[in-house]
Amino acid sequence: MTQHHKHIESKITLLGAGPGDPDLLTLKGVKALQAADVVLYDALTNEALLEHAPKEAIKVYVGKRSGEHSHSQDAINRLMIDYALNYGHVVRLKGGDPFVFGRGYEELDFAASYSIPVSVIPGISSSIGVPGLQQIPVTHRGLSESFWVITGTTTSGQISEDIYQAAQSNATVVILMGLKQLPKIAEIFKAAGKSQLPAAVVQNGSTETEKLVVSTIENIVAKVQEEKVEAPALLIFGEVVSLHPSFKSVIAQYATIS
């Protein structure tokens, strides 16, 4: 640094980008991007959002698409600090909401250890927003009194114990990062006597490549294979899925078979 170096005010904004559609960013998020010196963005954030940032702002992709190991969490943490110290305002743009399986708190904690101020702007989480866009409510009077959002892929690679418990409950169960584990998860629900429970899988919710599959737990695996559903996708298990118009055709289909 030279003596003429201007004073840099380092700060970090953890910003939730929403589920994919760039118009689902909050107004506060737009304002933060407009005031960014650097934007660090993930695989699941829409690149159209970068247009809110000034032309001269530095934009860095730090995605961790599954199978790639290009950016470890440690590397992202360090980059975020380096940019904040050298350039000022870093907007850390993360898919959905930063604190729903987003490792947002790890980044907040790391920044705090350097005494860099962090602010948080929540985003629309795919866990609620993607079912909602399909007009599937996560709660509904008389049908569902609560909802669980669970990961299908835990750090240890095991199925989360919470899925076994959720399968016993009447809650709406939304599972993120669970597409690969769907056969195993469906078995857990069947073992809990839920083979006729309505189930939906949504790929790329809120985007042009959105795909929806509606069935029962019993048939969801076959239907997802048939429709070639790909990640990112989320699973919705619960009576609320019966409110979706295409569930009625699922029922009609069984009526003719049996």
DSSP states along 49-109? GGGGS-TTSEEEE----TT--SS-HHHHHHHHHHHHHHHSEEEEEESB-TTSSS-HHHHHH
Tell me if 116 sits within 8 A of 11, measured CB to CB: yes
State how far the Cα of 139 lies from the Cα of 214, in Å rounded to an integer.
18
Shortest distance (Å) from residue 256 CB to ligand SAH: 31
Determine, following the binding rule CB under 6 A, whether residue 19 of this chain makes contact with ligand SAH: yes
Shortest distance (Å) from residue 175 CB to ligand SAH: 7
- Candidates 29, 131, 198, 205; binder of ligand SAH (CB under 6 A) is 205
Closest listed residue to residue 79, CA positions, set 64, 90, 69, 68:
90
Determine, following the binding rule CB under 6 A, whether residue 38 of this chain makes contact with ligand SAH: no
Nearest residue (CB) to ligand SAH, 79 versus 231: 231
User: Binding marks (x or -) toward ligand SAH, 61..80, rule CB under 6 A?
Assistant: --------------------
Determine, following the binding rule CB under 6 A, whether residue 233 of this chain makes contact with ligand SAH: yes
Which residues of the chain form contacts with ligand SAH (CB under 6 A)? Answer: 19-20, 44, 95-97, 100-102, 125-127, 130, 176-177, 202, 204-206, 231-234
